[in-house]
Amino acid sequence: MAQSAAFALAENLAAAGLAVDGCYQCRKCSNGCPLVFAMDLPPDRVIRLALLGREDELLACRTIWVCSSCETCTTRCPNGIDIAGVMDWLKEQAVARGAAVPEPEVRDFHCAFLGAVKLMGGRLSEPLVLALYALKGGRWLAKLRRSAAAGELATALELLKRRRLPLSPPRRLAGAGEVAGILRRW
Ligand code: SF4
Ligand code: SF4
């Protein structure tokens, strides 16, 4: 039973172009990771648990939400394992399955960011990201109730004044159709 679960996870990763079976636990990935201090599982452990098929532990860990996708680990791996890609894949699995995650604010920002890119056909609209994030989980309403939104509004106004928060929608991307195809799978 445990063995088939291991195969299933490793096979799903391999089907996504993220084979992990070459890992020999040298830990070069973890030794180079700039955020390992904030993780509950170092990157080499994530790969180990993936090989063991322990998907539930991986979907519930803090590490995948702390990871900044800097790709240092992927660059350092002597076996060509795309550890950063595995982290991203696990994030998408956690979102798709509605898994309880230890960093809900990071997950919500992740979803708001990708949602905004999707709505804008491949480009990023910062005000839209902020709006989607604020609306997630009633965050904005809760802040209004606690009168905690005033500071954020003041920051937004300051950013607008300094032209750091463009309100006009971004120009349409030439390959918007292609991007939409990629994002439809997300
Ligand atoms: S660097 Fe590559 S081979 Fe080494 S532990 Fe990390 S994933 Fe495994
Ligand atoms: S991609 Fe993530 S796990 Fe890899 S080195 Fe960067 S922060 Fe660490």
**Cα(124) to centroid of ligand 1, in Å?**
33
Q: Would you say the CB of residue 84 lies under 6 angstroms from ligand 2? A: yes
Nearest ligand, CA of residue 71? Answer: 2
Answer yes or no: pTM beyond 0.95.
no
**Entry field: residues in the chain:** 186
- Walk me through the domains of the chain, giving residue ranges and CATH numbers: 2-97 (1.10.1060.10), 104-184 (no CATH)
**Cα(44) to centroid of ligand 1, in Å?**
6
pLDDT value at residue 170: 75
Best residue for ligand 2 mutational test, from 23, 27, 64, 68 (most atoms within 8 Å of Cβ):
68
| Closest ligand 1 atom to Cα of 83 | 7
pLDDT value at residue 3: 54
pLDDT value at residue 138: 72
Residues in the chain where the model's pLDDT stays below 50 = 1
